[in-house]
Amino acid sequence: MTAAILLFIVNLIFKGFLIGKTPNSLSLSEIDLLRRFNVYPAIGDYSFRYLAVIMSAAISLLTFYFIYRQTKNFWLAIAVVLSLTFAPYLFILSRFLNVYIAFLFLIAAGLALLPNNKLKYLAIIILVFAFSDRRIVSADLNDLFKILDLRNLFFAGDTVSSVLHIPLTGFFMYVDLFFLFAGWYFLYLKKGAEKLVNPLNFLFATGIVFYFLSTSSSLNTYRGLLIFYYLSIVIGSGYYFLARNRLLPLIIIIVLANIVFYQELAYNHFDKKSSFEWGYAEQATIQYFNNRHLSQPLILSKSSAGKLDRYVNFFSNTNFKTKTLTVNQMKKTCVKNSSNYCLVREDELPYFGLAKDDIKLVFRYYDGLPMYFLLPTR
């Protein structure tokens, strides 16, 4: 029990470290989710994300309990928890608020707390249907092979979008490839944990079903979640099997090296590579105008309003309003020497007789992609 609690704390620290730094802005899906629960944080306040961290840590704890109850093998349970602690897909899912971490938490809870296999299976089926679209979203087998593809699992990650993709990292660490095969060998050929096999097979089968029924947001990180959970347990079994065969020092070194490598990529490069999806320019824009204490609404063109408005109207400490005008209206309002702040997109500049180089203040995404141009009215 002490070990399990210790691992829970390790999870909290590992996944909660600098929670506001990476990602350091909110995605639109996170905003939508918070709105549903009437949570409106201040800009720069990411404390709500600790809920995801706690659920993720709880997943590890519950999985420990499940494995231990099934196999009575303490070290096997520890190894699986370690696999879940350091898995990149779970790390990134723990860094922002989302329903899928809650889904996985409930799955792990069902496996750990329900008394017999039949109830566990029933619980998993109910949860799968509750969290899915309850219709076949995509029946393309090719997509499934993409998710089960070894390269995508260990090197390429989510090929659908980079929004949840740690650069140069797969859903699992590179070295986990060897532990995956070792884990399969241990579980299925050596029959090292027979009581785990049936629940794991069921988990994998339901994972396939969930993949085809899951929401039309279509990120592989979400759709493949149950499959990844299954693979994490197999990989953990691989850690246990190889560590048992006197390879523990080597395993520690290579796993630690891989963790350090991908953590550097996660903290220093993740949201920079997908700053568009994480609203980097939008938050920078809001922070800039918050500091200006605007007396009049910020004027937005119709094409710049959509995404920016959702951010402006979300944060609790946004101290200005916005007003959306057509380009023709802006031509009358956003004249020189007026006191208005007016934002447009790059393709609208010619309507004002301006070019890119005429603009002094541009709000960009991290990679330099310009998003909002401040007209020179003041």
Partner 1 sequence: MNNKKTTLILLFLILILGCFLRFYKLGSIPPGPEWDEASVGYNAYSIAQTGRDEWGNKLPLIFPAFGDYKNPLYIYLTAGVVKLFGLNIATTRFINTLTGSLLILVWFFIADLIFKNKKISLLTAFLLAVSPFGIYYSRIAGDGMMLSVFLIGAGLLAELYFLKTKRLLLCIISILLLILSMFSYNLARIVSPLLMLAVFIINFISVKTNRRWFVIPLVIFLLALFIIYKQSAISLSSRFQYVGIFGQKKGVVLQINEFRDHDKNNLLSKIFHNKVTFFGITLSSNYLAMFSSDFLVNFKHQTDVSESFWPPLHLILLPFYYLGLIFLISKIAGSRNRRERLSYLLLLILILVAPISSAITEGGSGKRDLAALGTWEILSAYAAVYLLGRKKLLTTIVIIILAVNLYAYFKFFYYTYPRDYGQIYAARENKICGLEKQNYSRFDYFIVPRKIDNVSYIFPLFCQQYSPLKYRQERQFTTKDGWFIVNRFDKYLFVDDTTAKDLAGLKLKNKTVAVFMNADERNLFVLQPKKLRFIPVLPVLKYNDVSLYMFSMKL
**Which residues are registered as beta bridge partners of 372?**
363
> Which among 82-90, 95-103, 137-145, 228-236 is the span making contact with partner 1, rule CB under 8 A?
137-145
Site membership for partner 1, residue 307 (CB under 8 A): no
> Which among 19-27, 140-148, 305-313, 350-358 is the span making contact with partner 1, rule CB under 8 A?
140-148
Q: Select the residue interacting with partner 1 from 69, 195, 269, 331 (CB under 8 A).
A: 269
Site membership for partner 1, residue 133 (CB under 8 A): no
Site membership for partner 1, residue 166 (CB under 8 A): no
In one letter, which amino acid is 136? I
264: which residues sit within 8 A by CB, 6+ positions away? none
Site membership for partner 1, residue 41 (CB under 8 A): no
Can you tell me whether residue 155 is helix, strand or coil?
A: helix
> Which among 18-26, 78-86, 153-161, 290-298 is the span making contact with partner 1, rule CB under 8 A?
153-161
The DSSP secondary-structure symbol of 222 reads H
Site membership for partner 1, residue 254 (CB under 8 A): no
Nearer to partner 1, 124 or 226 (CB): 226
The DSSP secondary-structure symbol of 185 reads I
Site membership for partner 1, residue 151 (CB under 8 A): yes
Site membership for partner 1, residue 141 (CB under 8 A): yes
Tracing tokens 């402006």 back to the chain, one arrives at: 312
CB atoms closer than 10 angstroms to residue 365: 19
Sheet holding 362-364, edge to edge: 322-325, 298-301, 342-344, 370-374, 362-364
Q: Select the residue interacting with partner 1 from 28, 102, 123, 156 (CB under 8 A).
A: 156
Helix axes 50-71, 225-242, angle to 10 degrees: 60
Site membership for partner 1, residue 139 (CB under 8 A): no
Site membership for partner 1, residue 154 (CB under 8 A): yes
Q: Select the residue interacting with partner 1 from 70, 152, 285, 322 (CB under 8 A).
A: 152
Instruction: Give first-to-last CA distance, the chain, whole Å.
Output: 65
d(CA 214, CA 154): 22
Binding site for partner 1 (CB under 8 A): 141-142, 145-146, 148-152, 154-156, 167-168, 174, 177, 189, 261, 264-265, 268-269, 272
